[in-house]
Amino acid sequence: MNELTVVKSNEKFKDMILYFFIYSFIGWILETIYAFFVLGYFVKRGFLIGPICPIYGFGAILLILLLRNCKGKPLSQFLIAGFTFTVFEYVASYVLEVIFGLRWWDYSEDLLNLQGRVSLSYSIIWGALGILLIEGIHPYIFKLLEKNKKRIRPKFQDLIIIILVATCITDFIFSTIKYLKP
């Protein structure tokens, strides 16, 4: 592997970290707005204390990687995104419940649900959001990130990433302690 390949690979990895935080924050906003409209008041959403929902960050990265060759193919995007995020959501729900004994979401009242962890209606939503992500949101975020990376020195970019990751790890530790049963 030559030096240029290593540099490009390192840049892609740093971009993925930034995408994780961007999409985790967007997911937290979506969850918060949704909960506000359903309940009529503000509810803290997600596992972490801070304003991010990592399931959206990981899900977005997964979809970006899986759907990068499906640009302009909405049916493929819909099916892959719907299936992938449904499986991901099921696994996340199961793991969170096993570790913490809590459920962060429950679709038991929805038609065609599987143990209340996933449902057909949300699978359809995930498929539609996958198309929206790949065809609209991600190209915009990509351009915005590229434009702003040119304005910020690489050392400062690295510092921002370190601060974000350290903050998230700290939040994860404190959130885990908060939810673990004595």
pLDDT tens-digit readout, 121-179 = 999 999 999 999 999 999 999 999 999 998 989 899 999 999 999 999 999 999 999 88
> Is the pLDDT assigned to residue 39 strictly greater than 90?
no
* pLDDT at residue 3, rounded to an integer: 59
Q: Residue 10's pLDDT band (boundaries 50, 70, 90)?
A: confident
- Tell the residue number behind the tokens 């309940």, with chain if given: 39
Whole-prediction pTM: 0.88
Predicted pLDDT of residue 4: 58
For 91, the token pair is 């696994």
Q: Which residues contact 36 (CB under 8 A, 6 or more apart)?
A: 42, 43
| Pairwise CA distance, residues 121 & 94, whole Å | 19
